[in-house]
A and B are shown apart, each in its own frame.
Chain A
Amino acid sequence: MDDAILEMRGITKRFPGVTALEDVSLTVRRGQIHAICGENGAGKSTLMKVLSGVYPTGSYDGEIVFEGRPVHFGGIRDSEAVGIVIIHQELALVPYLSIAENIFLGNERRGRGGFIDWNRTNADAAGLLASVGLDENPVSPVIQLGVGKQQLVEIAKALSKEVRLLILDEPTAALNDVDSAHLLDLLRRLRDRGITCIMISHKLNEITAIADSTTVIRDGRTVETIDMRGGGVTQERIIRGMVGRDLDSFYPDRVSTPGEEVLRIEDWTVWHPVQHRKVVDGASLTVRAGEVVGIAGLMGAGRTELAMSVFGRSYGRDVSGRLYMRGRPVKARTVAEAIGNGIAYATEDRKRYGLNLIADVRANVSAAALGKLSRAGWVNGNEEIKVAEESRQDLNIKTPTVMDPVGTLSGGNQQKVVLSKWLFTDPDVLILDEPTRGIDVGAKFEIYTIINRLVAQGKAVIVISSELPELLGMCDRIYTLSAGRITGELAVDQATQETLMALMTKEKELAG
């Protein structure tokens, strides 16, 4: 049982302007659980999309050999036909259909005349549910199940297709400890039944517990494949593979002179808007004037949720905790109150949450502080254009005029418009969520320079970033967040990528 079920050789996938995968090779042995890990944006999901046919043959270079034969997939249906099934991080179940209907969606059990044979559908579904250890009635609608049980339904659905290679993308990201343990158990049992698994995960403790081998991907390349069967492979060993890269972008120098405390959060707890779980759990942090503070955490750690809940409770429910600005307790129950108290939040998803793309640069720059440009409700349009014009020059926004729609600008310039908008509110503390996501190296450098200029003016800046070198290059202090808890606080000269990654993947046992 040591032959390869899957070989991917020399996979290269390019998007306009970016190489997502560069000559990646992956060999998965039959009957193993094979983990793939790497930082956000390393290329794990892209690789799985290539494998499952989401990116069809021809849109990438390289070859895939499955069960000894080269395969060419034109779409997901082709890969499913040979027994490769992918379960995405965002579950793809139809909430108002029953468990059985979901399991056989697109693969219906038909009887005479093409009508659905409900008896067989429900009976088969019951059998599949038993094999994944889910004790539920197949006719109950999926919406009544928790995320953990929905995950099991997805696996049952995969089993119904006679799966030979099961791919799970972050299967435990949204699960609590009990559900996670149950899921990992199930994966072990499937392995014993001969089903090969590829599991993408950030949770290194799970990987060391369950995986037979681990492939590390970094910046779109395979770094190494570690054989885990002998045991003795530690989380630190994997982390070294994940982060061991050279700095590939540069950070402008800055003299750090932190002043008095500007923002303090104490015991901040946020519940998920619909599910019964805490997304942020008892977090406390402080930021001082003239200081850049980083928040490091993997996807799903609660970074954005923490920031947005502080910013006028824009996320979650039952937000509790204390918020102080310059030592004075403040209430920021709405976005307007947060802005009034000198808090600004530049979102990680500028197209969805940051900008009105069909409106011009001018209207976007003034959107959060129109009051400053108006008297008795009337906006001084000329003054507004002047402000936008000044932002354009200050931040070097490349646009023909400030009256052009923001949607026509490049990503880096759109990000500068977002920054301009928040700078115009004249905040005391500026929270930047992934400020350099999806923009090129040159624009990144400009954003870093702007951040340095702001702290030199005495503003406090919080940077949330998935790129550890960026945090190490920009920040004075870095907090690490894992599963909603602050697991560490390091001065930048004590922090390395390894120590940060260890704290970011630390689970509850030490945080409690």
Chain B
Amino acid sequence: MTSLKQSPPASSGSAPAAALHGGIGDPRTLILRNLRQSGIYIAFVGIVLLFAILTDGVLLSPGNITNIVLQYSYILVLAIGMVILIIAGHIDLSVGSVVALTGAVSAVLVIQQGYPWWVGVAAALAVGVAVGAWHGFWVAYVGMPAFIVTLAGMLLFRGLTLQVLDNVSLSPFPSEYQKVASGFLNGLIGGQGYDAFTLLIAAIAVIGYAVSVFRTRLARIRYQQSVESFPLFVTRVLLVGAVVMYFAWQLAHARGLPIVLIILAVLVIAYGLMTKNTVFGRQVYAIGGNLSAATLSGVKVRKVNFWIFVNMGLLAGTAGVIYSSRSNGAQPAAGNMFELDAIAAAFIGGAAVAGGVGTVVGAMVGGLIMAVMSNGMQLMGIDQSTQSVVKGLVLLLAVAFDIYNKRRAGATR
């Protein structure tokens, strides 16, 4: 072997080690580092404050906060499934039709056939899963673009809804079924003019949050990773706690804890953890980020794609139950355009059109931005047409901001 020995080039990278230790105390550094994520929270706070002022505080009144939760819960449920699909590089245009179909099946069973409420719920979820499996089959195993498959599904399932309902609306559901969307946990442990139970649940949630983030912090320190400085950490926990408690306080002074809020909270926590911390969730990001690289890394792309569509179906079924329960019946035109609200929520929440980027929590904030804007404009008496114009512009600007950010990040490389 003809080879000459030469010392390897000197390494020039001891700076990273220093950055690992000691907390990062400067909030500006943290915000700038995550401008993409933090931008959306800042925008949300700004929009809430803006409409709070414009509506003379009505926006944040106990009754209205309860209303926002009840009115937009099903869009947020849809947005969870949608953002997962968008991260993987797909889309689902059919969810509005699926919401209608699942609600219709449930209504036929419960209202027409007189089955108990839970049969309707189970049937709606089962139909949702079946629809998801149908979409997943065509996308994952036949290899068709999700845009086409779900566009077909949008027509197909709207048509089936009309057939199931025989073109008429069904109403009303028994009171147990209505409770899913309109029920409250209230007065379980009493309270004078407010619901102590709501506050108790919120307090438990805040303590649970604090314990969980503190344990994460300890583990990070044990693994010698960078953490924020302790005062900043405490401030963050206190701030989150204060917001949650304020929110709970307002709810407690209205009608108590909405059942649908509990459902939503469980879903957000479960899916938030699933996307970030499970092998499955990480593979979704890998597929969206670079399909070929994911395939060549042993990710079973078809399987993952199939199951995220099944999951979308399940969540669309859930939204179908919530929506039919809230509207107390099933209508042939139910859920019209819901898909667009869910897609908008995901993109406003920072998901990338090309896939690979996005978070469940981001999509929730994106959905809430749309919700607060709609609600605020309704309170101000702005008509439907203007609302639509404003929402369209917000979606456009949110994605434009995202692209601008990315280009700037690319330029500073």
Contact = CB atoms under 8 A, between A and B. Distances in A.
Tell me whether A and B are bound partners: yes
Interface stretch (A77-85, A105-113, A355-363): A355-363
B223 A370 contact: no
A203 B211 CA distance: 69
A371 B279 contact: yes
A352 B220 CA distance: 33
Interface in A249-279: 250-254
A408 B409 CA distance: 9
Interface in A382-400: 382-383, 385-386, 392, 396, 398-400
Interface in B270-327: 276-280, 282-283, 285-286, 289-290, 292-300
A442 B8 contact: yes
Interface in A348-368: 352-359, 363, 366-368
B386 interface: no
Which one of B223, B226, B276, B294 has the greatest number of beta carbons of chain A within 10 Å? B223
Nearest to A398: B13
B9 A359 contact: no
Given A359-B356, A378-B277, A445 B3 contact: no
Given A251-B3, A352-B292, A442-B9, A401 B282 contact: no
Contacts of A311: 296
Which one of B5, B12, B13, B295 has the greatest number of beta carbons of chain A within 10 Å? B13
B219 interface: yes
A312 B300 CA distance: 12
Interface residues of A, number: 56
A493 B295 CA distance: 38
A347 B13 contact: no
Contact of B225 (A251, A382, A396): A382
A377 B298 contact: no
A247 interface: yes
Interface residues of B, number: 45
Which one of A338, A359, A493 has the greatest number of beta carbons of chain B within 10 Å? A359
Nearest to B222: A382
Contacts of A37: none
Given A250-B3, A250-B5, A385-B223, A379 B297 contact: no
A336 interface: yes
A492 B3 CA distance: 12
B3 A252 contact: yes
A247 B295 CA distance: 37
Contact of B293 (A353, A392, A401, A407): A353
Interface string A328-354: 000000111011000001010000111
A472 interface: yes
Nearest to A353: B292
A142 to B, nearest CB: 24
Contacts of A247: 2, 4
Interface in A432-490: 442, 445-446, 449, 472-473
Nearest to A368: B297
Interface in A12-66: none
A70 interface: no
A175 to B, nearest CB: 27
Interface in B1-50: 1-6, 8-9, 11-13, 15-16, 19-20
Contact of A493 (B1, B8, B219, B296): B1
Interface in B82-114: none
Nearest to B280: A377
A396 B11 CA distance: 8
Given A367-B294, A396-B13, A401-B226, A356 B289 contact: yes
A357 B290 contact: yes
A137 interface: no
A374 interface: yes
A356 B296 contact: no
Interface in B377-413: 413
Contacts of B1: 251, 253-254, 472-473, 492-493
Given A314-B295, A356-B294, A446 B282 contact: no
B127 interface: no
Given A382-B225, A408-B413, A421-B297, A370 B3 contact: no
Contacts of A353: 290, 292-293, 296
B356 A356 contact: yes
Contact of B296 (A250, A252, A345, A386): A345
Given A250-B4, A347-B296, A400 B15 contact: yes
A314 B226 contact: no
A315 to B, nearest CB: 10
B278 A378 contact: yes
Contacts of A347: 296
B271 to A, nearest CB: 14
A133 interface: no
Contact of A367 (B278, B292, B297): B297
Which one of A336, A370, A383, A400 has the greatest number of beta carbons of chain B within 10 Å? A370
Interface of A: 247, 250-254, 311-312, 314, 334-336, 338-339, 345, 347, 352-359, 363, 366-368, 370-371, 374, 377-379, 381-383, 385-386, 392, 396, 398-401, 407-408, 421, 442, 445-446, 449, 472-473, 492-493
29 contacts: A250-B3, A250-B4, A252-B8, A253-B5, A335-B295, A338-B298, A339-B298, A355-B290, A356-B294, A358-B289, A358-B356, A359-B356, A367-B293, A367-B294, A370-B283, A378-B279, A382-B223, A383-B223, A392-B16, A396-B11, A401-B20, A408-B413, A442-B9, A445-B8, A472-B1, A472-B2, A473-B1, A492-B1, A493-B1
Interface of B: 1-6, 8-9, 11-13, 15-16, 19-20, 219-220, 222-223, 225-226, 276-280, 282-283, 285-286, 289-290, 292-300, 352, 356-357, 413
Given A356-B356, A401-B20, 7 more contacts: A335-B295, A367-B299, A377-B278, A382-B223, A398-B11, A446-B9, A449-B8
